[in-house]
Structure 1
Amino acid sequence: MKTLARTIEARTPAHRDRAVDGLRTLALLAVPTGHWLLGGFTLDADGAIHNASPLSAFGFFAPVSWVLQMLGIFFLVGGYASVLSYERRAGSTGAWLRGRIARLGRPVLGVTAVWAVLVPVLHTAGVPDDTLRTASTLVVQPLWFVGVYLAVTALTPYCVRAAHRLGAWAAAPLLASVAVVDLLRYGPYAEAVPSWLSVLNILPGWLFAYQLGVSWGLRKVGPRHARALLLGGGALFAVLLLVFHYPASMVGVPGEARTNSHPPSLLVLALAAAQSGAAILVRDRLGRLLRRPALWAPVVVVNLSAMTILCWHQTAMLAAAVPASFLGPVAGLTTAPDTLGWIAARLAWMPLFAGLLLLIGRYARGFETPWTHASAVRRSAAGLLAVGFAVYALG
């Protein structure tokens, strides 16, 4: 490990922004941690597993989601890295965007194509249909992020113009847009507002932190703005919770009529603002800390496997839960997440999930590399399999 750390250190360019990579690593690792800890299963009489959440039984567990919901930081560093890449591009904007789409799209195509083959195999092996439906939903669930991320990435040229024109205030109209939609759907005339109106929050809701990252990368956001984001975001978060009674959980809770995450509510943006301010303020200190090879090496490894972690972490959990469902109730895997004992058991299972993800990632990481030797027929076949699985999972 020491040799690997020294090798990674020697190959790291001097201009590499270690703090940004470190922040991305924290945001990445929060995704599987949150899904593994806040997502459970119940077992029905036919032996099939269904989604459940400890948040349904333990309202006091909601603050955990405040820590693990770090998509604001992910979009922040995504905007920061994208604008630097965009400013240094050698070709056209279209070529730059096609390269980003290919890099993000290959792993998604890979995991959905593999599951398109797995579903009939598992069905033949006797896995109940309801279990396959549950598994398919969980596999597709994190992939919405890729589509949204591609959309905001495509808007990078416009984000750059907004940052040059408005500076640190470029993200303010996005915050105002989400606030207006929230007022309409939760205000005194909510009953007269169509349900589809909430969809209008999807793009501005996630573009907010990305725009902050673009402004940060262009040096339009400094420590003074970061402190305002931290304090203002924290104050808005508290007001929305205590005065306007927004749901406390940052992720969806089964049975709850309102959710903060799909689509993002103003509470999500308040948290993103506070997280972004904190991230910008700790950047220099984090960068100095990551000068240590032993700390820098795992950051590099995680960043190189970012899409593999995002696409396959639910499969790793299912690789443990589906076989366990044939054994009956297994604490922390197939028992209802409604006791403190379940939480302790789930924490004990998480190292196994991580080990399974490492094992799967050893082979699945090939989807992140360019498919230079793949023929057009193989690419078309993978695309058809992926579409077939998406139709099955979303149906």
Structure 2
Amino acid sequence: MASLAAGIEAATPEGRDRGVDALRALAIAGMVLGHWLVTAWAPGAAGAVHMSSPLAHLPEFTPLSWVFQTLAVFFFVGGYAAARGLRSAAARASGTWVRARMGRLLGPAVPLVLIWAGIAVGMALRGTSVGTIRAMVVPAIGPLWFLTVFAALTAATPLLLRAHPVVTAAVAFAVVLGVDLARFGLGAPAWTGWANLAAGWLVPYALGIAWAGGLLASRRVAVGLLAGGVAGAALLVGGFGYPASMVGVTGDAVSNLSPPSLAAVCFGLAQVGLALLVRAPLARLMRRPRLWAVVALANLSAMTLFLWHQSAATVIAVAALRFGDVPGLLAVPDEPVWLLHRLAWLPVFAAVLALAWLPGSVRGRCNDRVSPSA
């Protein structure tokens, strides 16, 4: 580990903003751990398995969703990195930059789709019920929803750079506000909420572009985003009936995340403010070679980790189907002890995820020069 850390330290350009990389790594870690803790499968009738959530049975664990729902930070850092990368590639056509980025983003998605299509077919041939197949496949390919939005925003970055990013974020926020007002106040059809899928995540992405342009440098701005975001989310949850959980809860009629609600966007603004405040301390912490090595490797494989982490847990669940009720894995998450059982499974999930991560990260990548726009 010491030699690997030393090699990565030597390959890191002096001007690398390690605080930004640490934020991205924390966002990835939050999503991975959050999904591993709240994604559950429970036995049903006739041996079938259905999706469940500990938050549906144990609402006292709802604060976990406030800690581990870090998608806004992911989009915020993504906007920052895209803006810097595109500006550094100014001598090349923007189309070349977009094609290169799409290859990095979408490349890992192809094997994910093919593998889970094969697993689904195999389960069907063995007589597995449609409900069980759906319960296994949907969580595994769930990250594709967010990858699609992230890829669309990345492809639109050359256009977004032509507009004022703060104005773009404000317009996107207004769209979310209008859509939620129509849905919850004027009785518009539920499907209209899906307009928020792009607008909701454009808010932190556009703020990331603003950050890259030096527009969010003031500590006062960061504190304002943090305080305003917290106040807005608290008001919407406490006064307007938005769900307290910042992730979807199986069985709930309304989700803050699918599609993103105004409460989720406000919560994201708070996360953006917090990210701005902690970037500098994180950058100093990343001067420790071993910590930086972990963060650098996580950043080099960010898309792989994001896309495959749900598959790691789901593969274990598929393999355990023959054993019936398995504590912490294939069991109703209706008692606090379930969380302890699930924590015991996390090292197993991590080991399976490493099988997808290590080949592309350690073999042939650990000696690469760390790109300043990665």
CA contact (8 A) 2:297 2:361 kept: no
> Match for residue 385 of structure 1?
none
- In the alignment, structure 1 residue 198 sits paired with structure 2 residue 188: no
What does 1:242-257 align with in structure 2 at a 5 Å threshold? 242-257=238-253
CA distance in 1, matches of 2:126, 2:11: 47
Write the distance in 2 (CA, Å) between the matches of 1:144 and 1:23: 22
Cα distance between partner residues in 2 of 1:195 and 1:351? 39
Aligned to 1:145: 146
Matched residue, 1:219: 214
CA shift for structure 1 position 123: 4.2
Change (3 A) 1:82 1:29: same
Contact 1:324/1:330 (8 A) holds in 2 = yes
Q: Residues 228 and 270 of structure 2 are in contact (CA less than 8 Å); yes or no, is this contact kept in structure 1? A: yes
Deviations 1:264-288, CA, capped at 9 Å, x for gaps? 1111111111110111111111101
Which segment drifts farther, 89-98 or 268-277?
89-98
Corresponding residue number in structure 2 for 1:309: 305
**What secondary structure is seen at the aligned counterpart in 1 of 2:247?**
coil
Q: Distance in 2 between matches of 1:152 and 1:24?
A: 17
Give the Å deviation of 1:349: 0.9
The one-letter code of the counterpart of 1:100 is R
Residue number among 255, 280, 294 corresponding to 1:298 in the alignment = 294
Rounded Cα–Cα distance in structure 1 between residues aligned with 2:46 and 2:8:
50
CA–CA separation in structure 2 for the residues paired with 1:329 and 1:194: 39
CA distance in 1, matches of 2:96, 2:360: 26
Letter in 2 for 1:110: P
| In structure 1, distance between residues paired with 2:55 and 2:180 | 23
State, as a whole percentage, how many aligned pairs show the same letter. 43
Gaps in structure 1 of 5+ consecutive residues: 370-395
Give the SS at the match of 1:326: helix
Shift of 1:261: 0.7
Query: For residues 181-228 of structure 1, what are the alpha-carbon distances to aligned partners after superposition, in whole Å with 9 as ceiling and x for unaligned?
Result: 1111111x32xx233221221211110000000000000112221111
Equivalent positions of 1:349-360 (< 5 A) are 349-360=345-356
Q: Is 2:203 the counterpart of 1:208?
A: yes
Pair 194,356 (structure 1): closer, same or farther in 2 beyond 3 Å: same
Q: Is 1:327 matched with 2:328?
A: no
Q: Do the aligned partners of residues 124 and 213 (structure 1) sit closer, same or farther apart at CA in structure 2, a change above 3 Å counting?
A: same
Question: Which runs of structure 2 are paired with 1:234-273 in the superposition (5 Å)?
Answer: 234-273=230-269
1:344 aligns with 2:340: yes
Deviation at 1:122?
A: 4.2
Displacement after TM superposition at 1:45 (Å): 4.3
Bigger shift: residues 36-45 or 19-28: 36-45
1:363: how far off? 4.7
Tell me if 1:161 matches 2:157: no
Kept in 1: contact 2:140–2:314 (CA 8 A):
no
| 2-structure distance, mates of 1:36, 1:52 | 12
TM-score (norm 1): 0.87
Q: Is the 8 A contact 1:107 1:307 kept in 2?
A: yes
* Secondary structure in 2 matching 1:50: strand
The AA in structure 1 aligned to 2:253 is: A
- Structure 2 regions of 5+ residues with no counterpart? 366-374
User: Residue 41 of structure 2 contacts residue 135 of structure 2 at CA under 8 Å; is this kept in 1?
Assistant: no
The residue correspondences of 1:1-395 to structure 2 (distance < 5 A) are 1-89=1-89, 90-124=91-125, 127-163=128-164, 168-187=166-185, 189-190=186-187, 193-222=188-217, 223-363=219-359
Contact between 2:73 and 2:275, CA under 8 Å: does it hold in 1? yes
**Alignment-derived partner of residue 369 in structure 2:** none
Residue 308 of structure 1 aligns to which amino acid in structure 2?
T
Instruction: Report the alpha carbon displacement of residue 364 of structure 1 after superposing the two structures with TM.
Output: 7.0
Match for residue 368 of structure 2? none
Once the two structures are TM-superposed, the CA of residue 230 in structure 1 deviates from its matched residue by 0.9
Q: Distance in 2 between matches of 1:14 and 1:176?
A: 40
Q: Compute the TM-score of the two structures, normalised by the length of structure 2.
A: 0.92
- Give SS of 2:107's match: helix
Give 1:238 deviation, angstroms. 1.2
Counterpart residue identity of residue 7, structure 2: T
Name the aligned partner's letter for residue 352 of structure 1.
V
Distance 2:330 2:60 in 1: 22
C-alpha separation between the residues in 1 aligned to 2:313 and 2:228? 37
Distance 1:45 1:195, change over 3 A: closer
Work out the CA distance in 2 between the residues paired with 1:87 and 1:207.
19
TM-superposed deviation, 1:169: 4.6
Q: What value does the CA root-mean-square deviation take over the aligned residues?
A: 1.9
Please say if residues 84 and 217 of structure 1, whose CA atoms lie closer than 8 Å, have aligned partners that are also in contact.
yes
For 1:14-71, what per-residue CA distance to the aligned partner results, in whole angstroms no more than 9, with x for missing partners? Answer: 1111011100001111122111100111113443322100111112222211111111
